[in-house]
Amino acid sequence: MRRVLITGLLAITIAGSVTACAPDEPAPAPRPTVEAESTPSPQPIETQAPITCETLVPAASRERMEADGASLMVGYVEKMRSEDNPIVAFADYGGGLCLWGPPNGHGVIYAASTIDEVQEATQRARLDAEGFISSPHNGADLYERSDETGGTYAYLFVDGYWILASSVEEADRVRQTLDVG
């Protein structure tokens, strides 16, 4: 009898434990599994060939200058940097900055690079402060100024690029060579 009583108590205890562990409310329905959205892979950025002294100037213009005794001045960026000339920004922004000319004469400057909005605002403010006159020019913004020797400096800002040349015509040629805007 004792055995039956112990077995009965044990059965009640186990049943009570199981009932105590059972939830009073029905178990919540399983949540639907949400798959993480896939992050689209970045699209490749179109890259243009690097802007160099050779790519800035059309081959015909280079040949004409060389026939007239002009050559590319080696070390021009370093010279401008040592003079603290702000045009080194073309090289600093990843572009080309070049001077073509005779060994001891007046040369022709060519420069171009890509430019972001902050850099562009900085350079436009600098040009305004230096007395350049701005005007629209063939779908671009032209900044132009003559120097004391009668030479001209022409900057073009167009479609994320800026260009510098020794004349508006040369700046237009560089723009055409780079196929910008």
In this structure, the number of other CB atoms found within 10 A of the CB of residue 173 comes to 19
Residue 161 in any domain: the answer is yes
Q: Is residue 39 part of a domain?
A: no
14 has a pLDDT exceeding 70: no
Q: Which of 18-22, 116-120, 138-142 has the lowest mean pLDDT?
A: 18-22
Q: What is the CATH number of the domain that holds 99?
A: 3.40.1000
Residue 79 in domain: yes
What's the longest Cα–Cα distance across the chain? 127
Domain assignment of residue 101, yes or no: yes
> pLDDT per residue over 65-77, tens digit each?
889 889 999 999 9
Query: Is residue 88 in some structural domain?
Result: yes
Give the total number of structural domains in the chain: 1
Q: Is residue 65 part of a domain?
A: yes
**Tokens in use for 53?**
């002294």
Extract the tokens encoding 75.
Answer: 């070390």
Q: Residue 99's domain spans which residues?
A: 53-178
In a domain, 104, yes or no: yes
pTM for this one? 0.70
Between 141 and 55, the more confident residue is 141
Is 1 inside any structural domain?
no
HSE (side-chain half, CA atoms, 13 Å) at 89: 19
